[in-house]
Amino acid sequence: MSSVGTAAPGHRSIAVFSSARRHGNTGQFIDFVAGELGIETIDLASVALSPFDYEHRNRHDGFEPLMRHVLDHDQLVFASPVYWYTVTATMKLFLDRLSDYLDLPDLLDEGRRLRGKHAYIVCTSICEEPPASFISTFVDTFEYLGMRYGGYAHANCEHGYVPARHQAGAVALIQRIRSGHGEHAA
């Protein structure tokens, strides 16, 4: 389900990644960020995730085990390409399922552990900047959940993923994650 590096002491971080391909532009970009930080990357494609269900008939799937693991970390790095101005369908499904932790009485205490966690975004598109709709999908959700947004790293992959160019653009975010800063308006 994941690739694991050596976790940095202090601010324990984890990356939650989604793309239609594991080793495409976003996959290579998050692998660089996670590799520099020595953190684990969870590929949502490898987790059995069902869509949100008002009746919660999906509690047997892989979401709660995944969340137990994710909640054990202080800093969450979300990685997704821009697909039609927003996050991938699977990443959106993951965000939708966070509602379980607001709805289900036995998950409320666990859900409150999201508060105060630092959250960052790693993304790729074919534009100079990610669309506001993409960023706000994450940032508005972080705000609602009481998480502390720490900024994003974006790679314009109009001409493919170019490590020398794109990795340099991620260094500032990597430094922020290393130092555990959560407040940033980028």
Ligand X SMILES: Cc1cc2nc3c(=O)[nH]c(=O)nc-3n(C[C@H](O)[C@H](O)[C@H](O)COP(=O)(O)O)c2cc1C
Binding residues vs ligand X (CB under 6 A): 19-21, 24-27, 81-85, 124-127, 157
Output the residue with the shortest Cβ distance to ligand X: 24
Rounded distance between C-alpha atoms, residue 91 and residue 100, angstroms: 15
CB of 68 to ligand X, least distance (A): 27
Backbone angles phi, psi at 47, to 5 degrees: -110, 135
CB of 20 to ligand X, least distance (A): 5
CB of 85 to ligand X, least distance (A): 5
Looking at the DSSP bridge assignments, the partners of residue 149 are 119
Q: What is the DSSP string of 56-67?
A: -TTTTSSHHHHH
CB of 6 to ligand X, least distance (A): 25
20/168 with CB nearer ligand X: 20
Q: What is the SS3 assignment for 5-42?
A: CCCCCCCCEEEEECCCCCCCHHHHHHHHHHHHHCCEEE
Question: Any residues with CB less than 8 A from the CB of 90 and at least 6 apart, and which?
Answer: 18, 44, 45, 49
**For 33, how many CA atoms within 13 A lie in the half-sphere containing its CB?**
36
4/20 with CB nearer ligand X: 20
87/119 with CB nearer ligand X: 87
CB of 30 to ligand X, least distance (A): 9
102/127 with CB nearer ligand X: 127
145/155 with CB nearer ligand X: 155
